[in-house]
Amino acid sequence: MEKQKNNLETQCPNTWCPGCGNFGILSAFKLAIDELITQGWKKEKIVVVGDIGCNSKIADYLNLNSLIGLHGRSVTTAEGIKLANSDLKVFVFIGDGALLDEGISHLIHAAKRNSNINVILHNNRLFALTTGQFTALSPEGYKGVSTPWGSVEEPLNLIKLMIASRASFIARGYSAKIESLKKIIIQASLHEGFSFVEILQPCVSFYNNIQFYNEKIYELENNDVKSESVALDLANQWDYDEAGKIPLGIIYKKQRPIFEQEIYKQIA
Amino acid sequence: MIKFEHMKNLKQYSFIVGGAAGQGSRRAGLLIAKMFNQLGYYVYIYDDYQSLIRGGHNFSQITVSEKKDPIRQKKIDFLLALDKKTIEKHRANLKKNGLLFFNSNKIKEKGIGIPADDILKKCNGLPIMANTSLLAGLVKGLGISFDLFQKTLLEDLSKEKEKNLQIAKLTYEQTVFPKNGIKINKVKNNPGLLMTGNEATAEGMAKAGLNIYFAYPMTPASGILHYLAQNQKKLGLLAIQLENEIAVASEAIGSAFAGQRSAVGTSGGGFALMVETISLAAQAEITFLVINSQRMGPATGVPTYGAQSDLLFTLHPGHGDFEKFIALPSNAEESFFWAGKLLNLAWKYQTPAILLTDKDVSEGTFSIEKKILDQVKKEKEIIWDKKGEYKRYKIVKNGISPLAYPGEAKVVVKANSYEHYEDGISVEEDKKAIQAMQEKRLLKFKAMQKQAEALPAVKIFGNKKSKICVIAWGSTVLSVKGAVENLGLKLVQPLLASPFPKKQIEKALAGAKQIICVETNSTGQMAWLLEANGIKVDKKILKYDSELFFAEELEKKLKKYI
């Protein structure tokens, strides 16, 4: 099989729930890596940083260098890896609870300093592994084990947050659209600077919104990725609630000085 | 007044330079220290300041001596007052024949008045240059040559050299050497360099191959960040400030995983935030060096003053069973040596190491003998021999699985905070594998214990035959040394808190009839550690008003027990 050629799989048994959106993310990532290796990337230069949660098991399932660290901290750990060896291609796989609850400050600062890492968010809009508590991206009124009468908090608009944090690459994909997700991951990987990819990932056990997403999503075409105001309009199309349409694809992309390069320049 | 018998015929002088924050008392004190360093004296500077930028009362106490490790005393020989408050605060401690130097245009006092404002006006100088004038007056009053002052001053100044020199010259010419004055002569020692504990820590780490230092500002550890930031080109490393101490620690783990020697520095509050990462370092066997410079807690406590109240916290940070190296330096030489040694040990054993220092060691300035600088070098970590398939957590005899770093061809390096198999993949429920991996780490901890006993983990001072043993650690050692030497007692200084060097400590204490523990905390944390290791402590002398012991004060307290 084509995708086996780079020996990207481990013997570790997969423990995700049948039908979990994470399978789509894993497939898309492996396809993207195969393609990048074909383009000349070296497998040994790739590092996967796993957080804690269902998503981070991806590190166990990939026969690539990996570090599974602490909940919410994988963005900073990845920045450390990149600063230590800028030849490495670093990918963070993280959930919405870790990224936007436990470790939100790290996300904002990594985007602000334009660290040349790729952050891939498995957005299932709740804490799954701890059985379904709300996160900063859960919709208002979300009923989980810790909010039996519904969450009284409105979710963050993540794309707006990333624009405000000066992220230099912002994209959104969907775990059920593997081919387009693969393309987004490749684009993110090739972007020089901080890349942020939000992946809508239905949680079949606690928050199955496949139907909702299938009705709401559309693929972006010919949008001006260099325009911050266009990006803001796209961010406003969906406020993580019931209304609006959900754009998929590259939302914003800008070339900015890269943190690691600037730091080494100073001491050269 | 208590006489320092061992100091008979040896020259020792004590200065206080004081002023409001922003007046430059610390810099003036440092210049005095630099001149005495040139004259062959050993130096120790204690810096006292508050958590404010302007106003308040800052002072430096500079003790210079012919004998190594000058001991700070309450009574001073010279007082250089940059403002009136300095005189009010410190006059009582000026010896009968001591000399007071002040700006006679601003203050009416008995002593050596220097018309600094008049001199400034003549030379068209800026207000801050009054320091130069007052210093020049002091230098003349001590009979120190103008050449030495000129050299020291010019080395220190980055701008306005000419004007400062003009002010210095005029003051020096105008000031009359006092009738009862002491003329300072050169002595024969070669005391080496002057360094703060923080600077020595930075240099020690650099010598042991530090690649990246991460920090978030926190007194009294910030000096390490500042020094490394200033000197990163020269030392060939990076100094990076991040958004908080959690990021600092996690980023250090990332860079260490990628093969760069990493260290972080903070004080108690920041250390609390790093604790989860110390646990990760133990589990993932990715190492870093943490500098924890104590200040008085709990919480924000007394942020610019010292205490030794974080020993027990530092002994047990992080969840889970694991061993770590913790060293306890008491001056710049020990800071240099142990910062370097710990970085090497952390990499050798792939386990976290902590340099537990404190405000008075971090920010104190000490003479450091040049030969100490040769005692630290980069020691190689255990690297994979490239035979067979690489397994990050391979179970080996000594428990230290060889290292490889991501980026190496044909190697997959998998590190993990979950319990893991030898190849780094998470274990879900395999009890055998879980136990085997913990036992692998236990093997390593056993090797560390053995290593601890092979390190210079205990120092003995004073009367080695005395049956009364005083135990002190960190900054407290400075004052205890003076007291025990006068009283003919023995001082035992533990330099490693973990792994506890039990054999060395027991040997040092052999034959002791009475063990007295001296600490600047309110519960006796070292005494607790000793007792936990089966060493009975008879008496505790504790101080917890945020100030160091004075040798005189300690001597009085110790006398009660002997």
Whole-number Å distance between alpha carbons of A154 and B548: 53
Looking at residue B478, its pLDDT comes to 87
B292-337 per-position pLDDT tens digit: 999 999 999 999 999 999 999 999 999 999 999 999 999 999 999 9
CA distance A193 to chain B (A): 18
Query: Over 80: is that where the pLDDT of B180 sits?
Result: no
Whole-number Å distance between alpha carbons of A176 and A214: 9
Per the DSSP assignment, residues forming a β-bridge with A48 are: A66, A91
- In this prediction, residue B9 has a pLDDT band, given cuts at 50, 70 and 90, of low
Query: Over 60: is that where the pLDDT of B7 sits?
Result: no
B412 touches chain A (CB under 8 A): yes
Residues in chain B closer than 8 A to A15 (CB atoms) = 428
B355-412 per-position pLDDT tens digit: 999 999 999 999 999 999 999 999 999 999 999 999 999 999 999 999 999 999 999 9
Rg of chain A (C-alpha set): 17
Burial of B379 (0-12, 13-18, 19+ CB in 10 A): middle
Looking at residue B246, its pLDDT comes to 98
Residues 6+ apart with CB under 8 A from B197: B329, B331, B332, B335, B357, B361, B362, B363, B364, B366
CB B344 within 8 A of CB B208: yes
B229 touches chain A (CB under 8 A): no
What CATH number does the domain containing A31 carry? 3.40.50.970
As a CATH number, domain B194-375 is 3.40.50.970
A70 assigned to some structural domain: yes
Give the ipTM: 0.97
Whole-number Å distance between alpha carbons of A268 and B504: 46
CA distance B246 to chain A (A): 8
Residues in chain A closer than 8 A to B247 (CB atoms) = 73, 76, 105-106, 109
Ranges of CATH 3.40.50.920 domains, chain B: 458-559
- Whether B254 sits inside 8 A of A52 (CB atoms) is no
User: Which of B211, B247, B409 has the CB atom closest to A109's CB atom?
Assistant: B247
Whole-number Å distance between alpha carbons of A26 and B28: 64
CA distance A79 to chain B (A): 6
A80 assigned to some structural domain: yes
Closest residue on chain B to A61 (Cα): B425
A11 assigned to some structural domain: no
Phi-psi region of B27 (alpha: psi -120 to 50; beta: other; left: phi over 0): alpha
Closest residue on chain A to B258 (Cα): A81
Residues in chain B closer than 8 A to A11 (CB atoms) = 425
Query: Over 90: is that where the pLDDT of A158 sits?
Result: yes
Residues 175-214 of B with CB under 8 A from A: 211-212, 214
pLDDT > 90 in chain B, percent: 91
Instruction: Tell me which of A63, A76, A94 to substitute to probe the interface with B (most B C-beta atoms closer than 10 Å).
Output: A76
Each as own residue / partner, the long-range contacts of residues B520-524 (CB below 8 Å, 24 or more positions apart, any chain) are: B520/B306, B520/B307, B520/B308, B520/B309, B520/B475, B520/B476, B520/B544, B520/B548, B520/B549, B521/B307, B521/B308, B521/B309, B521/B311, B522/B309, B523/B309
Domain that holds residue A116: 18-267
Q: pLDDT higher for B357 or B180?
A: B357
Total count of domains within chain A: 1
The whole-number average pLDDT for the span A119-138 is 96
CA distance A267 to chain B (A): 5
- In this prediction, residue B53 has a pLDDT band, given cuts at 50, 70 and 90, of confident
Architecture of the domain whose range is B458-559: 3-Layer(aba) Sandwich (3.40)
The whole-number average pLDDT for the span B150-178 is 94
A233 assigned to some structural domain: yes
Looking at residue A1, its pLDDT comes to 42
As a CATH number, domain B5-174 is 3.40.920.10
B218-231 per-position pLDDT tens digit: 999 999 999 999 99
- Whether B405 sits inside 8 A of A85 (CB atoms) is yes
Q: Packing angle between helix B551-559 and helix B476-487, nearest 10 degrees?
A: 50
B257 touches chain A (CB under 8 A): yes
A1 assigned to some structural domain: no
User: Which of B405, B410, B416 has the CB atom closest to A68's CB atom?
Assistant: B416
Residues in chain A closer than 8 A to B407 (CB atoms) = 44-45, 65, 85, 87-88
CA distance B408 to chain A (A): 6
- In this prediction, residue B189 has a pLDDT band, given cuts at 50, 70 and 90, of confident
Query: Over 50: is that where the pLDDT of A146 sits?
Result: yes
B431-486 per-position pLDDT tens digit: 999 999 999 999 999 999 999 999 999 999 999 999 999 999 999 998 999 999 99
Looking at residue B55, its pLDDT comes to 84
A118 assigned to some structural domain: yes
Looking at residue B160, its pLDDT comes to 92
Phi/psi at A122 (5° precision): -85, 95
Query: Over 90: is that where the pLDDT of B10 sits?
Result: no
Query: Over 50: is that where the pLDDT of B4 sits?
Result: no
Looking at residue B190, its pLDDT comes to 83
Element (H, E) at B484: helix B476-487
Amino acid making up residue A14: N
Closest residue on chain A to B250 (Cα): A77
A191-249 per-position pLDDT tens digit: 999 999 999 999 999 999 999 999 999 999 999 999 999 999 999 999 999 999 999 99
A52 assigned to some structural domain: yes
A79 assigned to some structural domain: yes
A2-24 per-position pLDDT tens digit: 445 799 999 999 999 999 999 99
- Whether A65 sits inside 8 A of B406 (CB atoms) is yes
The whole-number average pLDDT for the span B68-73 is 90
Looking at residue B191, its pLDDT comes to 80
3-state secondary structure of B29: helix
B492 touches chain A (CB under 8 A): no
- Whether A69 sits inside 8 A of B425 (CB atoms) is no
Looking at residue B355, its pLDDT comes to 98
Indicate the DSSP class of residue B381: P
Residues 6+ apart with CB under 8 A from B543: B519, B520, B549
Query: Over 80: is that where the pLDDT of B97 sits?
Result: yes
CA distance B193 to chain A (A): 26
Element (H, E) at B458: strand B458-462
User: Which of A63, A70, A84 has the CB atom closest to B255's CB atom?
Assistant: A84
Whole-number Å distance between alpha carbons of A172 and A200: 8
- Whether A85 sits inside 8 A of B413 (CB atoms) is no
Residues in chain A closer than 8 A to B425 (CB atoms) = 10-12, 60
B429 touches chain A (CB under 8 A): no
- In this prediction, residue A139 has a pLDDT band, given cuts at 50, 70 and 90, of very high
Residues in chain A closer than 8 A to B233 (CB atoms) = 267
Looking at residue A4, its pLDDT comes to 58
Query: Over 70: is that where the pLDDT of B354 sits?
Result: yes
Looking at residue A2, its pLDDT comes to 46
B265-288 per-position pLDDT tens digit: 999 999 999 999 999 999 999 999
- Whether B243 sits inside 8 A of A65 (CB atoms) is no
